[in-house]
Structure 1
C-alpha cells in the first residue's frame, strides 16, 4: 500500500502555483465558481498511471469536500482524519462501525463544542467548524493567539480525551482515537500488505508517515519546522506536489 495526504501535499491552491505556466497545470478543484486548486501536468500523469487500488488518499476533508476534487479514480479514500473510508465513493460499513466504537470512548463533538463555545468569541477566531460530527476546527483570522486561550482549550481537550493540532490558519480539535494511521492500520489488518510509502505535510500526517517504510514531506511544510527529521522534497508548493506524485508512482512500480 502507498498513501498520501491531499491538500498541500499533492494538491495546491491557486496561491501556491508560483510562476508555473497555466498550460502546465491541471485544475482539480473548483470552489464557488473559481478554479481553486491544481497539480502540474506531470503530477497528473504520474497519478493517472497508478492502478486505482495502489494509492490510498488520506485527508481531514469530509466526504463531500473530498469528492469535489477531480483526482484519478482511486478506489479508497480515508476521510475525516481516518474516520470514514470511501470505497468507490461509498462509505465502508465495517470501517464506520470501528470508528464509531473508537469515537464513543471520548466526549461527543456536540458536547465538546458546547464546552468551548465561549472560546469561539476570542478576537483571533473566525468560527468553529463541525466536520460531520467527528471533530471540529477553529478557523483563525491572523490576529495573535493568546497563551491563556490555548491553555484553556488544552485543559478542556485533555479532560475530554481530545487532542489539538495547530496548522497554519486552523486549530484542529479531535478525539485522540481518530487518526490517519489508525485508519490505515485497520485497512491492513488481516492482509499481508504493509504501508510502503506515505507523503504528507502536517502534524496530523506524522503518525501515518512514521508507519510507512518510506516517507516524504514537501519542503516548507508546517511539519518540517515542527519535529520532522525525515526526507523532504527539493521543491516547494505545486512543484513539491509533482515531486511527491512521481515519488509515489516510483514506489508503486517497484
Structure 2
C-alpha cells in the first residue's frame, strides 16, 4: 500500500479462516462495491474454489452469478452449475494431459525442502505453496515448458505456484455468463465487459474485456504487463481497491453499461 494509511476502524474484515480474520477491504471500498452492484451487473470472478469463495462476505451480494476455480466453476444463485462443469471437464479431457498425469510429474519434481503444501483445487488444477527463497532457480520456467506442450500452463503468484489446464480460463466463463445474462434480459447482448485482475491467470480475461484495469502490485505488475485496453492504478495494495471500484463506476456510466 502506498500513499494512504488505514486504521483498524477504517477497515472491514470480509473473510475469516479457522476463526481468525484474514481479508479486509476499506469501508470506502465496501460502500463503493455496494453502490456498484445496486446500479450495474457485477460478477465476482476468482481462482478460489467455490468453498473458498463462500468464506468471503463480499459487499453487494448475494450474486446471481459468480465465477470460481479460475473459470472452472460457475455458481448460479450460489449453487454450482452442472452444465458448465460438464462443458469444462470435456474441454480439459480433450485439451491435453490429465490432472493425474500432471500431478504425478509435478510430485517427481518437488521436495519438502521448499514446498510446504500441495493442493488439488476443485478436481481441476493444482497449486503449490512454496518457500520462495529456497525454490530452485528456473523451476517455473522448466515446469512451464513441460506443461506447455501438454495443454497446461504455470503461473507463480507470491508463494503459490499454479498449474492450470489451458481450457480452464476466466475469460471463457465470463463469456458464458454474459450470454446467459443477455438471454435472461438482464443486459443487452452488446453490453460491454469491464474487468480487473492482478495475476497472470487474469491476463486473458483482461485482454478479452472491452476495458480493463490492474493494480500497481501483483504478478502482472512484476511482469510489467500492458494491453491496449488496460489502465493501471496509481496506488498499490488496499488503496488500489478503491481506485479500481471508482474506475468501474466511471466506465459503466460512460458506456451506459448495466
Counterpart residue number, 1:7: none
Task: State the Cα distance separating 1:173 from its structure 2 match.
Answer: 0.4
Counterpart residue number, 2:30: 44
CA distances 1:140-183 after superposition (whole Å, capped 9, x unpaired):
11224324534542343134321111211111101111111111
Task: State the Cα distance separating 1:194 from its structure 2 match.
Answer: 4.1
Distance 1:237 1:151 in 2: 27
The yes-or-no answer on 1:20 pairing with 2:6 is: yes
Counterpart residue number, 2:247: 247
2:175 to 185, 193, 206: 185
C-alpha change, 1:202 and 1:149, in structure 2 (3 Å) is closer
State the TM-score, normalizing by the size of structure 1. Answer: 0.85
Distance 2:21 2:161 in 1: 26
C-alpha change, 1:101 and 1:250, in structure 2 (3 Å) is same
The yes-or-no answer on 1:70 pairing with 2:57 is: yes
Task: State the Cα distance separating 1:134 from its structure 2 match.
Answer: 0.5
Task: State the Cα distance separating 1:33 from its structure 2 match.
Answer: 1.4
Distance 1:51 1:149 in 2: 41
3-state secondary structure, aligned to 1:107 = coil
2:158 to 168, 192, 196: 168
CA distances 1:220-249 after superposition (whole Å, capped 9, x unpaired):
232023142232111211111111122223
Task: State the Cα distance separating 1:87 from its structure 2 match.
Answer: 1.2
2:44 to 57, 74, 86: 57
Q: Which segments of 5 or more consecutive residues in structure 1 lack a partner in the other structure?
A: 1-14
Distance 2:48 2:191 in 1: 24
State the TM-score, normalizing by the size of structure 2. Answer: 0.84
* CA RMSD across the alignment: 2.3
Distance 1:130 1:85 in 2: 18
Task: State the Cα distance separating 1:216 from its structure 2 match.
Answer: 0.9
C-alpha change, 1:151 and 1:36, in structure 2 (3 Å) is closer
Task: State the Cα distance separating 1:113 from its structure 2 match.
Answer: 1.1
Tell me, yes or no, if the aligned pair for 2:25 and 2:238 is still in contact at 8 Å.
Answer: yes
Q: By percentage of residues, which structure has more strand?
A: 1
Tell me, yes or no, if the aligned pair for 2:15 and 2:22 is still in contact at 8 Å.
Answer: yes
Distance 1:222 1:228 in 2: 9
Distance 1:198 1:149 in 2: 31
CA distances 1:113-151 after superposition (whole Å, capped 9, x unpaired):
122212231632222211021000111112243245345
Task: State the Cα distance separating 1:111 from its structure 2 match.
Answer: 2.8
| Greater mean deviation of Cα atoms: 56-65 or 145-154 | 145-154
Distance 2:191 2:170 in 1: 15
Distance 1:117 1:100 in 2: 23
Bigger relative contact order, structure 1 or 2, given CA contacts below 8 A and separation 6+? 1
Task: State the Cα distance separating 1:250 from its structure 2 match.
Answer: 3.1
Distance 2:203 2:142 in 1: 25
